[in-house]
Structure 1
Amino acid sequence: MRFNYRHLLFALIFLPCTLLAQTAKYPYQNTKLSFTTRVNDLVKRMTLEEKVSQMLNSAPAIKRLGIPAYDWWNEVLHGVARTPYKVTVYPQAIANAASFDRNALFTMADYAALEGRAVHNKAVEQGRDNERYMGLTYWTPNINIFRDPRWGRGQETYGEDPYLTATMGSFFVRGLQGNDPKYLKAAACAKHYAVHSGPEPTRHVFNTDVSNYDLWDTYLPAFKKLVTETNVEGVMCAYNAFRTQPCCGSDVLMVDILRNQWGFKGYVTSDCWGIDDFFKNHKTHTNAETASADAVLHGTDLECGTDAYLSLIAAVKNGRLSEKDIDVSVKRLFMTRFKLGMFDPVSMVKYAQTPSSTLESAEHKALALKMARQSIVMLKNAGNVLPLKKTIKKIAVIGPNADNGIAILGNYNGTPTDRVTVLQGIKAKLPNAEIIYEKAINFTNDTLLDYRDVSRQYNIDGHQGFKAEYFNNVDLKGTPVVASEPEVNHFWQEGETVNGAIKANNFSARYTTNYTAGNEGFITFEIDGDDGWRFSVDGQEVLNIWTRNRWGAQQYKLVTQPGKTYKLQLEFWQGDGKSNIRMTAGTYKKTDFTALVERVKDADAIVYVGGISPQLEGEEMKVPYPGFDGGDRTSIMLPSVQTQLMKAFKNTGKPVVFVMMTGSAVAIPWEAENIPGIVNAWYAGQSAGTAVADVLFGDYNPAGRLPVTFYKGDSDLPDFNDYSMTNRTYRYFNGTPLYGFGYGLSYTNFKYDVIAAPTAVKKGSKVTVKVAVTNTGKMAGDEVAQLYLTYNNNAKKTPLKALKGFNRLSLKAGERKEFTFTLSAADLSLPDANGKITPLKGKFTLSVGGSQPDEKNLTSGNIVKKTVTML
């Protein structure tokens, strides 16, 4: 009955399509015709005003033509994001890159697209399919090169290497878009095109220029592969300017390369609010009309975020562009919607029949755990301190990320029904052990708010906690949705619902309770939130942060009388975007490291879980902590308070293991020298804690590899604003890294042998290298075999070395496997100073092993090399 109901509802919504498939009134409603014919017929029936209305991300319905409203804005970076429904959350993109498993990423994208279809279908059932984050056009993947570890959005990428990025991005797109010969499962979008990787605080205003060599060698290869080989449906142009022109209006990027050289036929969207940047920030255009006309003439079909494109009507009338120019963009947009099956009966589109049971299915959750395990990189294992024994009687689990359910989800994420922190994972692994848990410190300081007993003193209407009132507007007006909540501590992603009833955009809330004081004499309230809030005690306003985009915790110290009751009220409003509001109370205490060490000194092992968090690094954030700025980092060093705590733990003489969570490279020179066990766990998704515990206790043999260089410190980095690749990434870095790209240890050992490789190759030919790898250890495990090309005797500029192949293999103890790397003619070419791709000259060296050819890896053993001459 449920399927029949949904089928009927789909049919009613797309009534013109379903009925006219049999008796088509207009050709665009005839499903027997080609999409091109149908799109052309539909667009010619639209007025100029109707056409322009469809060029905004939130496109309105055109009822007379049977066109439903549609919002193009959606995300699926590592699982469906920002939906009000519960979904599977996989590891963050940088963690997926660390797995070096293209096939797992393909499957993840496939599963995510299915869940996206289920979300869209549920939205149709509920009449919400025209809302943001309910559509089938996803603005993913982010294939920018992670050129500088300070960039907060680098976590969304596949790392610093063009080959790895292009390969992983390609498999993601293929998995997401499906293999149906007619319909797309979902529409992927390659972003941010191009030469874009921070800094976040200046992304709307900065202009960058790079040499043609760097442009074609580093910044464009992934975009080229996705456009010319993988048939990605969409491209998003970046905020910044390139060679003085905004990227969405760039002659070089948009016209010469994307549309002319690569022949891209899909749609291009601006980054959100990017068209406004033309005239508000870059100052290259005088107003919305000139900016919009120029963007369309450069091939930007859709505007996201604002409505500058509405000025296109005037631009046509004023002769800045023609209605035919508008037609080109509108046809591209409708072509994507037709390919998604939005104008055809459900019975014709298999993906439109995806059931709700797909959401968080057993297979999807199992893959989330598998990929979390695969992503973990073991950086150090001195004295085989790992794996820890499961017979441990007492273990200390300490640190700001030990029980952090936000950090494991990364950014651009959805919300799962269940998530497992590291603390929870270890508890499940050691059900009979004594586990000491303390947060101990914040990420950047050692002063914590002790509020453990305060919640007992909140009471309203006979219940502990708060009365929460949620309003479907920003003015605290109307009839609210009322709930009873134990605390005020919320973090809503865009598109989620508040209390299951109100959309988490443009809403307000009021939290009320009575606080009965004890004998403490005073209490400190700490409040932070995104857009605006105000706090009152007994009807007297004492804190007011009622201005938009004001971020950072504020404190109010209330002097109290024992036994007296105080009425507390916190009012909050949130505009467009993700939102959070939190109120804690108690007394601030500086952590006594000596006392903490005394409490844990008899533990069998100490697991410190620290690093950083998406609460500190990300997209255009306001972060008032030292070492962080606007979502980026001003220093890549691990915050010193964390190092000081680990120094105290080291003095206990107990085994200390550092589990680091991060979305980017962190410099840990002291830890690398002094802490015996170091594991990098990234932001590993809903099953992060289970995966970490599996690795720590030997139930999974780690094989992740670093997709970025871990430098020794800030002095290794060039100016953040400099986009030249000189001395950047493993391909051009002249120094010695702390841990190099491609590095990662195992609990077993491997040996490589070259079986066959040529000594010479003709220009334009492929190169095939046959290799064998043997697990020479006593434990089964995965190995990531990597092939690098080192350039010899080339007169032109070349990378120091470059990844050209990788293969993740599973081998039992003693098992040997043979496999083949095939390098294409393009792999054996490089751009010249003008950007022209030309074959290599002279000799080059191929190296195969578990790491870079000149980096020591204790468990991946030998590197095999072969010198080849290009004829």
Structure 2
Amino acid sequence: MKKIAAIALLLTGLHSKAQEYKSYPMWNHHLPMELRVNDVVKRLTLEEKVAQMLNATPAVPRLGIPAYDWWNEVLHGVARTPYKVTSYPQAIAMAATWDTNSLKTMADYSAIEGRAVHNKAIQENKTNERYLGLTYWTPNINIFRDPRWGRGQETYGEDPFLTKYLGASFVRGLQGNDPKYLKAAACAKHFAVHSGPEPSRHSDNFNPTVYDLWDTYLPAFKELITKANVEGVMCAYNAVNTQPCCGNDLLMNDILRKQWKFTGYVTSDCWAIDDFYKYHKTHASATESAVDAVLHGTDLECGQTVYKTLIDAVKQGLIKESQIDISLKRLFTTRFKLGMFDPPSMVPYAQTPASALEAPAHQAHALKMAQQSIVLLKNENNTLPLSKKIKKIAVVGPNADNSIAVLGNYNGVPSKVITLLQGIRNKLGSNVEIIYEKAINFTNDTLLIYSDQSTSFNWNGQQGFKAEYYNNRELSGTPLISKMEKIPDHFWQEGENVVDGIKANNFSARYSSAFTATKDGEFSLEVEADDGYRLIINEKEVINAWQRNRWGARTYRLKTKKDTVYKIVLEYWQGDGKANVRLRTGNFEKTDFTALANRLSGADAIIFAGGISPQLEGEEMRVDYPGFNGGDRTSIQLPVVQTNLLKALHATGKPVVFVMMTGSAIATPWESSNIPAIMNAWYGGQSAGTAIADVLFGDYNPAGRLPVTFYEKDSDLPGFSDYSMEGRTYRYFKGNPLYPFGYGLSYTRFTYSGLTIPKSITVNKPVKIRIQVKNTGEKDGEEVVQLYVSHQQTKHKIPVRALKGFQRILLKAGESRLIDFVLSPEDLSLVNESNGMSYQPKGKVQISIGGGQPGVKNKTTSNVVSTELQVL
């Protein structure tokens, strides 16, 4: 009994000691936050401090600090979480709404779902896992200066003015308006001068002019940092003026911290500090890179390796521990603002229930934004809207039933995704005959016609594949679990259970089976997977993509002999991000366009769903299809196979509607001259198909406007790696675009009149403007009122014109409304070419207001009213 009592006393003492931290000031929520942050930092050892500067921070049990991973994404809804969430349209599509209120609401709803995810993580003791935290590395406010950039889909387009207001709305919606706590922490990225190319991003150095830096690349960052109070900033991979962005004197020390007084935290892009010495070759070692990054205010390393050298750097006197403390205080201030060190009862968002995930209001808003984002590019002879009394309709193309395309990249996974085909089926019901043909791939006309061969595969007398799962990337050791599966066909979100004991990251699998050929001939096996894989047939490796990363599919054509047994082994590993592996079998067939057109000639209308997809464009991808490279595009032309198919469909004489899905501008010169109706549907999120069908059949009047210029041809573009803005975007392009920035048609018409504006103003005085807008058509509809400024008398570098105001409004048929704008002195200012400072010139300024830009060749939904203002 004495022994038991002694053990009990010891355990009581240990428990008491373990709870001592609760008495520390860091845990006293009655004290000022700054005092609490200072207290926690001074209690950490040097080793503990450095560990807290990595994206995956370990727990500090003696202080009660839980483990936390800073890495999370919320580009268009909570991304990459293991839970089902609402997926909104891709960022470029949300930009096409030109609606700051909608974007703010979307961010608010996403933060609510993010809180629900984080609260579940706390309950399940998973705060150490990636994609479950509250620090979101979004929004991407880089300027989409060149349509070839594969990540342009993540941005709000090519214009600094539109980008800064949309970005600020997102930040305010995500971070909330509580006076003490953040709902979630936004992060403006990638700072700065970053927009491709993807394959060389780790070593690129760009030398923008002072003018371009301040006129194009910095305005959105300035707005979010100085006015929207964004909590975080991510520095970019590339170098600017020979210094890596995360260690850049001008960007980090002078502009960000000194001029803009930014006090929040800065994170590196992932593994960007490695680039200092590995690719930029500006630093001799990891230690030197880490020290320089911290001295330039990069508080957090996403990458987990280089900053570990800071321990020795402090001991060697290369950096003071007090400098480490500065970064620690910024990082812990963010965590305290998120309420991570306060009782949940005090934090207004800590009670957000799991029922908030995919809430009805959130799903309704995803549909609304998908509808708002659709841009009607052409509608000859009122081809649209189509009648719902149609008898037969054909739906054709690689994006007709593509659930991957509509979700874009950096996405979460919802419970239900509505493709275009499903949206049309839901809209028309069983009374209309719907013919579906994929017909082609994005870049070729040879399809693998799938056949269900799963019953032909067997392993030791059991039908299917033997699946072995390993808790490492190397297929090493004994598999954690072995079981039989029908055929490899999996899609997991990171953090989701692959099998018991294995999460969907940093694992590998082997799938083994055999089949007996029933005839002489050819049998094709297609493997589609993320990260690395290889296919082995009869112990011979026939596909090796083991070092591959990002999405990819490859096919092997096996020559078969009747009654021969073929042993099939598919090996696969997954690192970070989504995990998917699929084996499909069948035979290749080349599509006969003439025969296809004949089959479809009985349809009353043909919908062609083409364009491109995030399977082809995105972040640092290994894609080698014609027209694409490393996630970027080498040509902005619509792939020629799609144009050839559209020519065949057009030749039927039936109305053809081209529904284009894309995250960037596509050049469609033949289509724009010949196809009667074209709409750009972007990557519309979980309800994309419903929204497109609503527009096709007139249940929603389209009002999306282009946030980027759609050029006519590749030769319109300067070199991709040329970061000069000369000849780029609507502000500096002097040619004739196919569809200009701000363009979009409607099923109704709007007229502008009664412009009220002073003839002259004094420098540094605001200008009040009023105009009347009337819906002169027969349908209710939305209009995006756009105001452009063009300086007329100056010898200095200036844009052709610049957007300086916009409002999205709803007008019923016949309704009029007075719209007010106030142009600030900043709106009427230009950038000095020598020092980057803003100045307001005197002289004539043209003010244009309408449903698009003035003087464009293309007919828009409205007239444009212009006048001159004299600045004295």
TM-score using structure 1 length:
0.95
Residues 380 and 483 of structure 1: CA distance in aligned 2, closer, same or farther (over 3 Å): farther
Q: 2:845 is paired with a residue of what secondary structure? A: strand
- 725-734 or 53-62: bigger deviation: 53-62
- The alpha carbon displacement at 1:489 in A equals 3.8
**Inter-partner Cα distance in structure 1 for 2:603 and 2:518:** 35
Q: 1:643 is paired with a residue of what secondary structure? A: helix
Contact 1:446 1:590 in 2 (8 A): yes
- 1:474 match: 473
**Inter-partner Cα distance in structure 2 for 1:680 and 1:373:** 11
Contact 1:17 1:343 in 2 (8 A): no
Alignment pair present for 1:865 and 2:863: no
Alignment pair present for 1:365 and 2:363: yes
- 1:260 match: 258
Q: Report the residue type matching 2:438 in the other structure.
A: K
**Inter-partner Cα distance in structure 2 for 1:16 and 1:196:** 52
**Inter-partner Cα distance in structure 2 for 1:462 and 1:437:** 38
- 1:203 match: 201
User: Out of 305, 320, 327, which is 1:322 matched to?
Assistant: 320
- The alpha carbon displacement at 1:16 in A equals 11
- 2:48 match: 50
- The alpha carbon displacement at 1:503 in A equals 1.9
Q: 1:360 is paired with a residue of what secondary structure? A: coil
Deviation per residue, 1:832-858 (Å, 9 max, x gap): 011011113211011110001112564
**Inter-partner Cα distance in structure 1 for 2:314 and 2:71:** 26
- 1:110 match: 108
- 2:568 match: 568
Q: Report the residue type matching 1:313 in the other structure.
A: I
Deviation per residue, 1:518-551 (Å, 9 max, x gap): 4463312222434333333456655444445498
**Inter-partner Cα distance in structure 2 for 1:93 and 1:334:** 30
Contact 1:850 1:857 in 2 (8 A): no
- The alpha carbon displacement at 1:504 in A equals 1.8
Residues 415 and 384 of structure 1: CA distance in aligned 2, closer, same or farther (over 3 Å): same
**Inter-partner Cα distance in structure 1 for 2:167 and 2:565:** 58
Contact 2:80 2:577 in 1 (8 A): no
Deviation per residue, 1:336-378 (Å, 9 max, x gap): 0000000000000011110000000100000000000000000
- The alpha carbon displacement at 1:125 in A equals 1.2
Contact 1:17 1:344 in 2 (8 A): no
- 37-46 or 163-172: bigger deviation: 37-46
Residues 749 and 458 of structure 1: CA distance in aligned 2, closer, same or farther (over 3 Å): farther
Contact 1:769 1:822 in 2 (8 A): yes
- 1:715 match: 715
- 1:439 match: 438
**Inter-partner Cα distance in structure 2 for 1:18 and 1:808:** 57
Q: 1:99 is paired with a residue of what secondary structure? A: coil
- 813-822 or 183-192: bigger deviation: 813-822
Q: Report the residue type matching 2:262 in the other structure.
A: F
Residues 614 and 299 of structure 1: CA distance in aligned 2, closer, same or farther (over 3 Å): same
- 2:149 match: 151
- The alpha carbon displacement at 1:662 in A equals 0.3
Residues 537 and 206 of structure 1: CA distance in aligned 2, closer, same or farther (over 3 Å): closer
Q: 2:746 is paired with a residue of what secondary structure? A: coil
Residues 540 and 216 of structure 1: CA distance in aligned 2, closer, same or farther (over 3 Å): closer
- 833-842 or 378-387: bigger deviation: 833-842
- 1:9 match: none
**Inter-partner Cα distance in structure 1 for 2:16 and 2:850:** 59
Alignment pair present for 1:802 and 2:772: no
Contact 2:755 2:865 in 1 (8 A): no
- The alpha carbon displacement at 1:559 in A equals 3.3
Q: Report the residue type matching 2:586 in the other structure.
A: G
Deviation per residue, 1:177-211 (Å, 9 max, x gap): 00000000000000000000000001000100111
Contact 1:399 1:440 in 2 (8 A): yes
- The alpha carbon displacement at 1:729 in A equals 0.1
* Gaps in structure 1 of 5+ consecutive residues: 1-14
Q: 2:602 is paired with a residue of what secondary structure? A: coil
Deviation per residue, 1:7-41 (Å, 9 max, x gap): xxxxxxxx999989xx9522111101111111011
Q: Report the residue type matching 2:356 in the other structure.
A: T
Residues 483 and 750 of structure 1: CA distance in aligned 2, closer, same or farther (over 3 Å): farther
- 1:790 match: 790
**Inter-partner Cα distance in structure 2 for 1:461 and 1:369:** 49
Q: Matches of residues 305-320 of structure 1 in structure 2 within 5 Å?
A: 305-320=303-318
- The alpha carbon displacement at 1:510 in A equals 2.3
- The alpha carbon displacement at 1:130 in A equals 1.3
**Inter-partner Cα distance in structure 1 for 2:605 and 2:16:** 67
- 1:286 match: 284
- 504-513 or 382-391: bigger deviation: 504-513
User: Out of 191, 194, 197, which is 2:192 matched to?
Assistant: 194
Alignment pair present for 1:835 and 2:833: no
Q: 1:379 is paired with a residue of what secondary structure? A: strand
Q: Report the residue type matching 1:77 in the other structure.
A: L
- 717-726 or 753-762: bigger deviation: 753-762
- The alpha carbon displacement at 1:563 in A equals 5.8
Contact 2:142 2:217 in 1 (8 A): yes
Contact 1:793 1:842 in 2 (8 A): yes
Q: 2:582 is paired with a residue of what secondary structure? A: strand
**Inter-partner Cα distance in structure 2 for 1:666 and 1:159:** 14
Contact 1:210 1:724 in 2 (8 A): yes
- 1:512 match: 512
- The alpha carbon displacement at 1:274 in A equals 0.4
Q: 1:700 is paired with a residue of what secondary structure? A: coil
- 35-44 or 93-102: bigger deviation: 35-44
**Inter-partner Cα distance in structure 1 for 2:318 and 2:403:** 52
**Inter-partner Cα distance in structure 2 for 1:339 and 1:553:** 44
Q: Report the residue type matching 1:740 in the other structure.
A: P
Residues 39 and 297 of structure 1: CA distance in aligned 2, closer, same or farther (over 3 Å): same
- The alpha carbon displacement at 1:482 in A equals 5.6
- 2:771 match: 771
Residues 666 and 492 of structure 1: CA distance in aligned 2, closer, same or farther (over 3 Å): farther
Q: Report the residue type matching 1:244 in the other structure.
A: T
- 2:3 match: none
Q: Matches of residues 523-672 of structure 1 in structure 2 within 5 Å?
A: 523-537=523-537, 542-547=542-547, 549=549, 553-562=553-562, 566-672=566-672
- 1:350 match: 348
Q: Report the residue type matching 2:420 in the other structure.
A: V
- 1:502 match: 502
* Gaps in structure 2 of 5+ consecutive residues: 1-14
**Inter-partner Cα distance in structure 1 for 2:353 and 2:265:** 29
- The alpha carbon displacement at 1:314 in A equals 1.7
Deviation per residue, 1:436-474 (Å, 9 max, x gap): 111111100111111234345345688865454433222
Contact 1:849 1:860 in 2 (8 A): no
- 1:744 match: 744
- The alpha carbon displacement at 1:415 in A equals 0.5
Q: Matches of residues 122-201 of structure 1 in structure 2 within 5 Å?
A: 122-201=120-199
Deviation per residue, 1:846-871 (Å, 9 max, x gap): 11100011125645221112211112
- 1:425 match: 423
Contact 1:851 1:857 in 2 (8 A): no
Deviation per residue, 1:758-796 (Å, 9 max, x gap): 222222221121122111111111111101001111232
Q: CA RMSD in A?
A: 2.1
Contact 2:622 2:630 in 1 (8 A): yes
**Inter-partner Cα distance in structure 1 for 2:150 and 2:543:** 31
**Inter-partner Cα distance in structure 1 for 2:743 and 2:549:** 40
**Inter-partner Cα distance in structure 1 for 2:303 and 2:99:** 35
Residues 396 and 255 of structure 1: CA distance in aligned 2, closer, same or farther (over 3 Å): same
Q: Report the residue type matching 2:84 in the other structure.
A: K
**Inter-partner Cα distance in structure 1 for 2:137 and 2:437:** 39
Residues 214 and 17 of structure 1: CA distance in aligned 2, closer, same or farther (over 3 Å): farther
Q: Percent identity?
A: 65
**Inter-partner Cα distance in structure 2 for 1:19 and 1:865:** 71
Q: 1:202 is paired with a residue of what secondary structure? A: coil
Alignment pair present for 1:414 and 2:415: no
- The alpha carbon displacement at 1:332 in A equals 0.2
Q: 2:350 is paired with a residue of what secondary structure? A: helix
**Inter-partner Cα distance in structure 1 for 2:360 and 2:501:** 27
Q: Report the residue type matching 1:424 in the other structure.
A: Q
**Inter-partner Cα distance in structure 2 for 1:831 and 1:93:** 28
Alignment pair present for 1:488 and 2:488: yes
- Matched length: 855
Residues 652 and 459 of structure 1: CA distance in aligned 2, closer, same or farther (over 3 Å): farther
